[in-house]
Structure 1
Amino acid sequence: MPVCLKTTGMKRTTLARLGAALTIMPLALHAGPFDGTYKQTANAECALVGVDGGSLRIEDDIFYGVEVECRMTNPVMIEDMQATVFDMACIGEGSTWEERVIMMLDAQDPGIYMIWDGYAFRYERCEDPGE
């Protein structure tokens, strides 16, 4: 039997917008291609995020580095590459700043490349963040 929804006080366009928002919402919870925990050095502790000798993490469009957090915004994919340019709004050590970064998946090994203005880093993905 069909269900009839009474729209007391709500216009159909409002209901349509709500339905569209609920449809899009699960996409925001999906992990991005760069999400994960990465070793700063070959012998880094994967369980220690954000400290020297530990690891860094990318999760929910936030980069967690050594005593710094950067919100990753305005992603622009680079054509024919598994790479994206992000604007980074960073906070750490008592100051805030903005940077741009290129992130690219390593095509041969599990890891990423991060290219900042004048610097390039390769980070190996941690197998299990709890190690």
Structure 2
Amino acid sequence: MWKNQSYRKVLFGVLAVWAFCGSVSAQSIDGLYQPAGSNWSCSPDQIGVDGGALAIQGDIFNGVENRCDLTSPVRIGDGTRYTAICSAEGSTYREQMTITPTVDGVRITRAGGTAMWDRCEPLQEPSVASTPTNGRWTLGGGQGNYESGTRDANGNSITFTCDDLGANGGLFIELNGQPVAGGQVVINVDGTDFATTAWTEGGRINTECTVCGQTYTALWAAAAAGNLMTITASDGRSAAFSLIGSRDALGDVACQPDDGF
């Protein structure tokens, strides 16, 4: 009898620990953020970059140019206190960090004070016709520069550029007759998303960071081999493009992206 009671106490304790751990991990704090009141790009390919996006992903915390592993979670009221093991500018340090969900995002309390992060707004669903109206993709240009792309009658266009050495590749997008500008642009090819960021002017997509260049190269290959492309900008504008003729226009080898140098 005594042994059974002890066993039950031990079992209850184990289950209580499991339940507690589950409640900590279940908090819905994963996501992309920006400082409260800011208008950052919220681009997932610029996590940790000033003006890009802040992020909490599982037990990884990404601030501006610093990254922390969130360990030893302990519930504190509505939030969770972690022992954060952080790295920034080549140094490593440890601190206590409490993350509390709020209506708009999270509140982060650490040694330096308290910061409020707003959750990045999700992109609006595309409101485009299911049947694209663009023409066949074409290849044109001259004087050492070439353009591969397509457009439709609604002012939507996408253009890949490249020089005759297969380098300095660029990407330009217009939606509803206006260049995309200063925010996230998601390009979906046959169900696969490619997250990019537009510069503030001219409809030009950033290819100058390492991840940006890799995304550009992968997108080029996907567009050349694909059937349907959907583009959605951060302001909700969107368009769908058929990829008929894209392989002939783009070729089998992706242009090397412009790295800014």
Q: TM-score range by the shorter chain?
A: 0.5 to 0.7
1:93 maps onto 2:89 in alignment: yes
Asked if the contact 1:46/1:128 (under 8 Å) is kept, the reply is: no
Structure 1 residue 54 displacement after superposition: 2.1
Structure 1 residue 101 displacement after superposition: 0.7
Structure 1 residue 31 displacement after superposition: 6.6
2:118 paired residue number: 124
- Deviation per CA, 1:69-117: give whole Å up to 9, x if none: 1000000001xx32010000011211100011111011xx220000112
TM-score of the two chains, using structure 2 as the length reference = 0.35
3-state DSSP of counterpart to 1:34: coil
Large movers: runs of 4+ above 4 Å: none
Q: Find 2:63's aligned residue among 62, 65, 73.
A: 65
Q: Find 1:50's aligned residue among 23, 35, 48.
A: 48
Gaps of 5+ in 1: 1-26
1:83 maps onto 2:79 in alignment: yes
Amino acid of the structure 2 residue aligned with 1:34: I
1:37 paired residue number: 32
Provide the C-alpha distance between the structure 2 equivalents of 1:118 and 1:46, rounded to a whole number of angstroms: 24
3-state DSSP of counterpart to 1:127: coil
How many pairs align?
A: 99
TM-score of the two chains, using structure 1 as the length reference = 0.67
Asked if the contact 1:31/1:59 (under 8 Å) is kept, the reply is: no
Query: Where do 1:108-123 residues align within 5 Å?
Result: 109-123=103-117
Gaps of 5+ in 2: 1-21, 124-183, 185-233, 235-261
Asked if the contact 1:61/1:71 (under 8 Å) is kept, the reply is: yes
Amino acid of the structure 2 residue aligned with 1:33: S
